[in-house]
Amino acid sequence: MRYWIALLPTLLSAPLLAAQLTIDLGSTHKTWQTEALLKHPQTQTITIESDVSYKKLMHYRAVPVSALLEGVSAQDHLQAVATDGFAAEMPAAPLLSNGPARAWLAVEDPAHPWPALGKGKASAGPFYLVWTNPQAGHISPEQWPYNVASIRRLAPVAERFPAMRPDSQLAADDPVNLGFALFQKNCMACHRLNGAGDAQMGPDLNIPYNPTEYFGGEFLRRYIRDPQSLRQWPQAKMPGFDQVVLPDAELDKLIGYLQHMAGRKQ
């Protein structure tokens, strides 16, 4: 015990180790080391005016995500997986775009580590997907995954997880189907539904009960807007979704999808 106590200051002051990012596109599989990404010819210093995770202006050494996705088309579907089980589902098109909203992979330099995300927490590194001018692309906070370990090309969500699909007789532009798209964008990174999904962080949103079954009146909307206004505990991780991220009309569609799926438990 005395040995570990004496060693603790050394461990805390030790430099970060280089990390590895895996990019699995099915037909190709590549790994990138921290050093190689920092030396990538397209890597540059970028400024993020209002960082989603740090809640302040941040500067990063970053490479455009599009530069790492050779062979990916705008019609493809990608998933960014973090070390804690957060799994962000993202259409490829915004990630490949050069603007106005543009995706970057920020790379933490072991010689210049980023600040911790909070007391007792690590940084957002070693790899963090960030956006410049995110408002122009209506980018959700769930599309800013940090501690990224891999990026994968996968089949669309509806193909991979049939248990999440609404009734097939609904029209493509039915509000329930539009709500399903919003669920994929804003909820799937943390939650499963009907046991389906890759996320490991939050509870299933249909089994055993759907939140529309136990949140009465306007309380579900209040919870989505500001979770801490209804339930407060130090380990809470769910972010609030304000009007900019999820306008009322979209929130209505998302809740409509959940209500619909309450009758489709599997």
What domains are there in the chain, each with its CATH number? 16-154 (3.90.420.10), 158-262 (2.60.40.420)
Is the whole-model pTM more than 0.75? yes
In 3D space, the residue among 154, 157, 215 whose CA is nearest the CA of residue 182 turns out to be 157
- Counting every residue, how long is the chain? 266
- Digitized pLDDT (tens) for each residue of the chain, 266 residues in all: 444 444 444 444 445 567 999 999 988 999 999 999 999 999 999 999 999 999 999 999 999 999 999 999 999 999 999 998 889 999 999 999 998 999 999 999 999 999 999 888 899 999 999 999 999 999 989 899 999 999 999 999 999 999 999 999 999 999 999 999 999 999 998 899 999 998 888 899 999 999 999 998 899 999 999 988 887 766 667 888 888 889 999 999 999 999 999 999 98
DSSP 128-176: EEEEESGGGGT--GGG---SEEEEEEE--HHHH-GGG---TTS-TTSHH
Which DSSP state fits 120? T
Token readout for 166 is: 């609404």
Whole-angstrom distance, CA of residue 243 vs CA of residue 245: 6
